[in-house]
Amino acid sequence: MATRRLSGGEWQKLAVARSFMRTHPLLLVQDEPTASLDAATEHVLFERYLSASRDAARQTGAITVVVSHRFSTVRSADLIVVVGEGRVEEFRHHDELAHQRGAYASMYELQARGYR
């Protein structure tokens, strides 16, 4: 029998799937849940993840915290919190933060330029 090792992306998918094993968690914390995934898989997974998180919030009041440096991932969040040097620098929805021209807007624009 041949042994097969999982890639970084496969391990990432497994870890994310395991996070959904509990039927009604009140708090779910994901730290860079899509870091090892390709862009297409990241998009599909995050859309499902966002939908499941919002359903859980409506049903049980559950809270989901996603830590990410990918602004394409956090853009859809209900609340974005920008932390710098151990302190909260900004917090709002994407559109509000983008118009404030602060740290979030600068970092978002820098990443977006890389995709243009």
Q: Which domain holds residue 44?
A: 1-68
Residues 85 and 116 in one domain: yes
Question: Are 62 and 49 in contact, with CB atoms under 8 Å apart?
Answer: no
18 inside domain = yes
Residues 38 and 92 in one domain: no
**For range 1-28, the mean pLDDT:** 78
Residues 9 and 57 in one domain: yes
The CA-to-CA distance between both ends of the chain, in Å, stands at: 46
pTM: 0.72
37 inside domain = yes
Write down the mean pLDDT value for the chain. 85
Task: Report the C-alpha gap between 99 and 58 in whole angstroms.
Answer: 29
Location of structure tokens 């409506």: 58
74 inside domain = no
Number of structural domains found in the chain: 2
Task: Name residue 82's beta-bridge partners.
Answer: 90
pLDDT single digits (tens) 86-95:
999 999 999 9
The identity of residue 41, as a single letter, is: T
Q: Which residue has the higher pLDDT, 6 or 20?
A: 6
Residues 60 and 10 in one domain: yes
Residues 60 and 85 in one domain: no
pLDDT single digits (tens) 71-113:
877 888 899 999 999 999 999 999 999 999 899 999 999 888 8
For residue 12, the model assigns a pLDDT of: 75
